[in-house]
């Protein structure tokens, strides 16, 4: 059974009460508090905000002898909580428990309302006993302010000669934040705390890079594979913690990247590719909660099948588990897709693809929506929104890479995908369109761009470009606006691969449809660009593929600035480029900025991609000569 907790709402956003309960520092205090209350004898619960059930899902309260449960809301009467019929708080005077536990934060006012009803001798304890220190908070006066819980998990490994970096910058300073810092807690695969520390962000716009190799040396640790919990303190603007992960090895053969984890555990994930015959796919499960994942708490199934195979293993609180998907689904192979029944136990997971003789690569699955239904109004809106939802992805230079696109169902009610895919040259010229038809949920369609071009007799004059997946309702069918795809890239010379996945948006129109075009800050439409490009260390070069999608004709060319910053956020140099509407630009750091400029930028430098005229979508990666590369989509803020 999935955990009965609310973690995220697509209407309200993240649930800060959930984050307040699962914070590692709160968890330490909560377990001590539970033991102290149990030792005192009988306990009564006052649950004014109907929060006790979530606490009981995340913590073992079996040691409590609960005698009464009181509520504030009349609407909450008539149900049972922890085996007790709930009572109105007006009956509190008859309580004979040793402790009254008030299941709420910022509870001083709530307790004041009922203080005269509390019988003599009963100790009143509230959730404020597990609060974080005020110094860690943006808004101490409102503990559940979402800005107090800018948290996330990162996959973090330093083992077998493989290392991990987590990189981003202090983008909260752009919203007025001061004295921003990272509080970090490293867990191993058993959920044991290996280290806790704080990293100051020394200046506005300063970058940071957390390197597992450096962390291991700093704290004298052995090998580890686990989770890095990140809490950004004293922020402004928004509570989303975004970062880029790079995985590398001592030999230099492994270069792979992915990004932030979506900090709210979901019921289901999808977009997990089945292994090829010569591959192994490892799903990394990072328990994000202070409760263990029970045996049978996580399962896998073929996309479109109701036959779930459950994992017969318990995963400890905050622990990590490497699940070889073939052990649960031995007959499933690429291009089939796999759904993950996650039960709200963990944040969006990473997966690792291992292939004999080829360096491993890492990517992520995506949240599978449970709240969507087919959008019956979309066909009526199409004349106003043109192409509507667009999912753009690179076609890397054809002489070196093979590019493969595969649509991925990403909502539980999505029974078909009526799609088309247009190939664009970098100049914005349409080359050919492939119509998938109405892809049934249970089927997968992986399209090789080389083969498609050969069949169509077309070519990309610039040698590279991009694909754009769109809804194609010409033959009927339904859509829901949650179009996703998996894009795989293979180096033709040596078979080295990278892959990335993302979802569609409406781009560059001045009207809005269901909060699209999406805006990072403020109300839609989002018609400008602010993308973060982390830069790899020498001898690696950094590549960036910027795409200018447009649902309707927009400005004929972008007015894009590539602004190079040093590690403290100071601007070093700017290059101005123009990208044709529906076109793209593939560039490299070492070609765009000369050696002297790169030297002045130094290590820890990054590029901000800014455009006030249009919304661009970007992909980034690292290159190790002709040997290895990585690729993932970029993030903005």
Q: What angle do CA 617, 622, 624 make, to 5 degrees?
A: 150
pLDDT given for residue 520 in this prediction = 77
Tell me, yes or no, whether 259 and 319 share the same domain.
Answer: yes
Count of structural domains within the chain: 3
Q: How far is Cα 624 from Cα 607, in angstroms, rounded to an integer?
A: 19
Asked if the structure places residue 571 within a domain, the reply is yes
Q: Cis omega (within 30 of 0) on the bond before 517?
A: yes
171's tokens: 């983008």
Question: How many other CB atoms are there within 10 angstroms of residue 85's CB atom?
Answer: 11
pLDDT tens figures, 152-179 = 999 999 999 999 999 999 999 989 999 9
Out of 367, 393, 415, a domain closes at 367
Query: Is residue 346 predicted with pLDDT exceeding 80?
Result: yes
Give the percent of the chain with pLDDT over 90: 91
Tell me, yes or no, whether 125 and 163 share the same domain.
Answer: no
Confidence class for position 13, pLDDT limits 50, 70, 90? confident
Q: Cis omega (within 30 of 0) on the bond before 335?
A: yes
Confidence class for position 9, pLDDT limits 50, 70, 90? confident
Confidence class for position 261, pLDDT limits 50, 70, 90? confident
Please provide the DSSP assignment of 107-152 as one string: -HHHHHHHGGGSPTTPEEEEGGGGPPPGGG-S-TTSTT-GGGGEEE
Query: Is residue 301 predicted with pLDDT exceeding 90?
Result: yes
**Average pLDDT, rounded, for the chain:** 95
560's tokens: 């894009």
Tell me, yes or no, whether 362 and 410 share the same domain.
Answer: no
pLDDT tens figures, 374-408 = 999 999 999 999 999 999 999 999 999 999 999 99
Query: Is residue 187 predicted with pLDDT exceeding 70?
Result: yes
**Averaged pLDDT for residues 570-594:** 98
* CATH number reported for the structural domain that contains residue 121 in this entry: 3.40.50.720
Tell me, yes or no, whether 401 and 478 share the same domain.
Answer: yes
| DSSP code, position 178 | -
Asked if the structure places residue 534 within a domain, the reply is yes
Query: Is residue 11 predicted with pLDDT exceeding 70?
Result: no
| DSSP code, position 412 | T
Tell me, yes or no, whether 214 and 350 share the same domain.
Answer: yes
Tell me, yes or no, whether 352 and 213 share the same domain.
Answer: yes
Residues pairing with 447 in the sheet:
405
Confidence class for position 251, pLDDT limits 50, 70, 90? confident
Q: How far apart are the first and last CA of the chain?
A: 36
Asked if the structure places residue 373 within a domain, the reply is no
Asked if the structure places residue 4 within a domain, the reply is no
Give the percent of the chain with pLDDT over 70: 100
**Averaged pLDDT for residues 217-242:** 96
Asked if the structure places residue 3 within a domain, the reply is no
Tell me, yes or no, whether 154 and 244 share the same domain.
Answer: yes
Residues pairing with 195 in the sheet:
186
Query: Is residue 1 predicted with pLDDT exceeding 80?
Result: no
Asked if the structure places residue 225 within a domain, the reply is yes
Asked if the structure places residue 11 within a domain, the reply is no
Out of 110, 131, 152, a domain closes at 131
Confidence class for position 14, pLDDT limits 50, 70, 90? confident
Query: Is residue 137 predicted with pLDDT exceeding 90?
Result: yes
Residue 583, C-beta contacts closer than 8 angstroms, at least 6 positions apart: 424, 425, 426, 427, 428, 429, 465, 547, 548
pLDDT given for residue 487 in this prediction = 98
CA distances from 432 to 70, 175, 444, 466 (A): 66, 43, 21, 11
440, 446, 448, 449: CA torsion to nearest 10: 60
Element (H, E) at 215: helix 212-219
pLDDT tens figures, 111-133 = 999 999 999 999 999 999 999 99
Query: Is residue 328 predicted with pLDDT exceeding 90?
Result: yes
Tell me, yes or no, whether 358 and 383 share the same domain.
Answer: no
Q: How far is Cα 236 from Cα 179, in angstroms, rounded to an integer?
A: 11
Check if the beta carbon of residue 614 is closer than 8 Å to that of residue 529. yes
Question: How many other CB atoms are there within 10 angstroms of residue 379's CB atom?
Answer: 15
**Averaged pLDDT for residues 61-86:** 90
b/e string for 415-449 if b means 16 or more Cβ within 10 A?
ebbbbbbbbbbbebbebbebebebbebeebbebeb
263, 245, 585, 389: CA torsion to nearest 10: -20
327's tokens: 């052990």
Tell me, yes or no, whether 63 and 87 share the same domain.
Answer: yes
Element (H, E) at 219: helix 212-219
Query: Is residue 458 predicted with pLDDT exceeding 90?
Result: no
Residues pairing with 313 in the sheet:
none
Out of 99, 131, 163, a domain closes at 131
Tell me, yes or no, whether 140 and 93 share the same domain.
Answer: no
Residues pairing with 256 in the sheet:
247
SS3 content of the chain, % helix, strand, coil (to 5): 15, 40, 45
Asked if the structure places residue 5 within a domain, the reply is no
**Averaged pLDDT for residues 219-242:** 96
**Averaged pLDDT for residues 207-226:** 98
Check if the beta carbon of residue 23 is closer than 8 Å to that of residue 149. yes
Confidence class for position 238, pLDDT limits 50, 70, 90? confident
Tell me, yes or no, whether 171 and 78 share the same domain.
Answer: no
Question: How many other CB atoms are there within 10 angstroms of residue 78's CB atom?
Answer: 8
> Of 601, 597, 530, 528, nearest to 570 (Cα)?
601
Q: How far is Cα 376 from Cα 588, in angstroms, rounded to an integer?
A: 43
Tell me, yes or no, whether 190 and 126 share the same domain.
Answer: no
Query: Is residue 10 predicted with pLDDT exceeding 90?
Result: no
Q: Which domain holds residue 466?
A: 378-636
Half-sphere exposure of 204 (CA within 13 A, CB side): 9
Q: How far is Cα 364 from Cα 233, in angstroms, rounded to an integer?
A: 26
pLDDT given for residue 617 in this prediction = 98
């Amino acid at each position: 059974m999935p955990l009965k907790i609310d973690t995220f709402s697509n209407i309200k956003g993240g649930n800060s009460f959930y984050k307040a309960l699962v914070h590692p520092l709160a968890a330490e205090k909560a377990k001590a508090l539970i033991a102290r209350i149990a030792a005192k004898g009988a306990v009564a619960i006052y649950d004014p905000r109907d929060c006790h059930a979530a606490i009981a899902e995340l913590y073992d309260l079996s040691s409590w002898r609960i005698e009464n449960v009181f509520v504030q809301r009349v609407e909450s009467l008539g149900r049972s909580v922890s085996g007790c019929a709930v009572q109105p708080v007006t009956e509190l005077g008859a309580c004979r428990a040793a402790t009254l536990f008030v299941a709420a934060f910022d509870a001083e006012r709530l307790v004041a309302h009922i203080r005269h009803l509390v019988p003599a001798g009963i100790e009143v304890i509230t959730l404020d006993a597990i609060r974080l220190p005020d110094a860690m908070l943006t808004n101490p006066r409102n503990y559940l302010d979402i800005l107090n819980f800018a948290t996330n998990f990162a996959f973090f490994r330093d083992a077998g000669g493989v290392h991990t970096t987590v990189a981003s910058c202090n983008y909260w300073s752009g919203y007025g934040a001061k004295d921003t810092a990272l509080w970090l807690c490293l867990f191993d695969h058993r959920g044991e705390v290996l280290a806790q520390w704080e990293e100051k962000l020394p200046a506005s716009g300063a970058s940071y890079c957390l390197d597992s190799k450096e962390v291991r040396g700093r704290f004298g640790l052995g090998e580890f594979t686990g989770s890095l919990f990140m809490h950004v303190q004293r922020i402004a603007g928004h509570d989303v913690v975004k970062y880029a992960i790079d995985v590398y090895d001592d030999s230099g053969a492994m270069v792979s990247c992915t990004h932030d984890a979506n900090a709210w555990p979901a019921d289901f994930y999808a977009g997990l590719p089945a292994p090829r015959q010569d591959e192994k796919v490892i799903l990394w499960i990072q328990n994000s909660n202070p409760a263990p994942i029970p045996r049978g708490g996580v399962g896998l199934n073929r996309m479109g099948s109701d036959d779930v195979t459950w994992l017969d293993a318990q995963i400890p609180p905050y622990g990590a588990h490497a699940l070889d998907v073939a052990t649960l689904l031995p007959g499933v192979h690429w291009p089939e897709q796999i759904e993950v029944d996650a039960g709200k136990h963990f944040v969006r997971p990473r997966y690792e693809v291992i292939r004999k003789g080829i360096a491993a690569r890492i990517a992520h699955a995506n949240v599978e929506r449970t709240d969507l239904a087919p959008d019956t109004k979309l066909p009526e809106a199409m004349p106003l929104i043109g192409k509507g939802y667009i999912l753009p992805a690179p076609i890397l230079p054809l002489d070196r890479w093979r590019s493969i696109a595969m649509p991925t169902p990403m909502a539980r009610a999505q029974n078909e995908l009526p799609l088309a895919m247009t190939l664009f040259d970098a100049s914005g010229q349409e080359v050919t369109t492939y119509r998938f038809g109405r892809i049934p949920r249970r089927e997968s369609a992986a399209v090789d761009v080389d083969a498609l071009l050969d069949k169509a007799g077309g070519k990309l004059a610039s040698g590279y470009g991009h694909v754009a997946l769109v809804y194609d309702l010409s033959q009927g069918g339904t859509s829901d606006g949650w179009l996703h795809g998996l894009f795989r890239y293979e180096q033709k010379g040596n078979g080295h691969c990278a892959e990335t996945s993302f979802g569609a948006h409406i781009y560059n129109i001045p009207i809005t449809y269901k909060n699209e075009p999406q805006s990072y800050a403020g109300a839609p439409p989002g018609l400008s660009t602010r993308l973060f490009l982390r830069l790899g260390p020498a001898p690696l070069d950094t590549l960036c593929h910027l795409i200018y999608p447009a649902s309707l004709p927009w400005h004929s060319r972008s007015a894009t600035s590539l602004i190079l910053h040093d590690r403290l956020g100071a601007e070093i140099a700017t290059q101005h480029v123009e990208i044709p509407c529906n076109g793209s630009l593939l560039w490299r750091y070492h070609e765009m900025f000369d050696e002297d400029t790169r030297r002045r930028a130094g290590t820890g430098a990054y590029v901000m991609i800014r455009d006030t005229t249009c919304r661009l979508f970007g992909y980034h990666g690292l290159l190790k000569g002709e040997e290895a590369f990585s690729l993932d989509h970029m993030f903005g803020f």
